[in-house]
Amino acid sequence: MLKEIQSVIQFIEKNYQRTIPISELETVAHYSYRNLQRVFKNIFKESLGAFQKRLKLELAYKRLIYTQDSITDIALEVGFESLQGFTKSFTKNYQRSPSEARKNKLDVFRSFIQVDNQPIKYEFIFLSQLTVHYQSIKTDDYRNDDINKLWNSLDQAFEPQKGVHYYGVIVDQPLITVKSHCRYEACVHQKNVPNGFLSKKIFGGKYAKYIHQGDYDAIEQTYRRIYKDWLWNSTLEWDDSPMIEHYVLHESNCSNKNEFLTEILIPIKKRFPTE
């Protein structure tokens, strides 16, 4: 039933702004709502309703700190009927109002960006929409051990082909999301796909591309530098859609971990500079 659960999650992510009738969830899952709710809660430790509400609030929080969009626009776009309703729900969940969260966004990142002042560069790129096949896990704060196990299972399922690309979707923002609820999607772009995989589209827009060189155990340090540079030096407005890692050089095509190459792709809202 895991594939059906993933289908329901995918459906909620596309429709979280509205009230989703039980009948629609049953149609997507091909299971009764009672069974669906039971399995979902057993895996994710929260109800379907709680998941949808959390998704709305977390996406709103991202927009508050990533963009300059008005708080009213954010509230309506994530599915609240009024600014008052959004403010009440947000404040109850995060113990601070939306305006306070925006004003004090540095608090979210303060402990994470305690890193040296080594500069990090990025370049602007446009990526066309791409269909990938994926499996997802719930991982506590994006633990490398969990992610490695997922990729090992994918390596056993897929037959090696030329021109295959591997992507990791960082679904949640671990500085906002409760760490135990973080989700990661291992995605493969290739022709022949075994059973048990869902398909989705990624990309389709402008990205800031950063480079991580070396083993994945050190990739968190690269993220620390990215956030620090964004907070202090950049004028970019990030989009609230997930960050994506493109594994260019990895275990399958590079024997030296120090030479691994990962593109960290961050979706951006603001137009490209004209300079």
141 sits in the region (left: phi over 0; alpha: psi -120 to 50; else beta) called: left
pLDDT confidence bin for 154, thresholds 50/70/90? confident
pLDDT confidence bin for 160, thresholds 50/70/90? low
Least confident span in 54-58, 151-155, 175-179: 151-155
- Residue 76, pLDDT score: 96
Alpha carbons 169 and 172: distance in angstroms, whole number: 9
Pairing of strands 123-127, 165-170: unpaired
Q: What is the pTM of this model?
A: 0.92
Alpha carbons 236 and 166: distance in angstroms, whole number: 26
Please provide the average confidence, as pLDDT, over all residues in the chain.
Answer: 91
- Residue 273, pLDDT score: 42
- Residue 270, pLDDT score: 57
Alpha carbons 184 and 253: distance in angstroms, whole number: 22
CA 169 → CA 21, 114, 173, 199, 265, distances in Å? 28, 25, 11, 13, 10
User: For residue 26, with 0-12 CB atoms within 10 Å meaning exposed, 13-18 middle and 19 or more buried, which class applies?
Assistant: middle
Q: Per 3-state DSSP, what percentage of the chain is helix, strand, and coil (rounded to 5)?
A: 45, 20, 35
Own/partner pairs for 212-218, CB < 8 Å, 24+ apart? 212/261, 212/262, 212/263, 212/264, 213/258, 213/259, 213/260, 213/261, 213/262, 214/257, 214/258, 214/259, 214/260, 215/257, 215/258, 215/260, 216/144, 216/147, 216/148, 216/260, 216/262, 217/144
- Residue 157, pLDDT score: 79
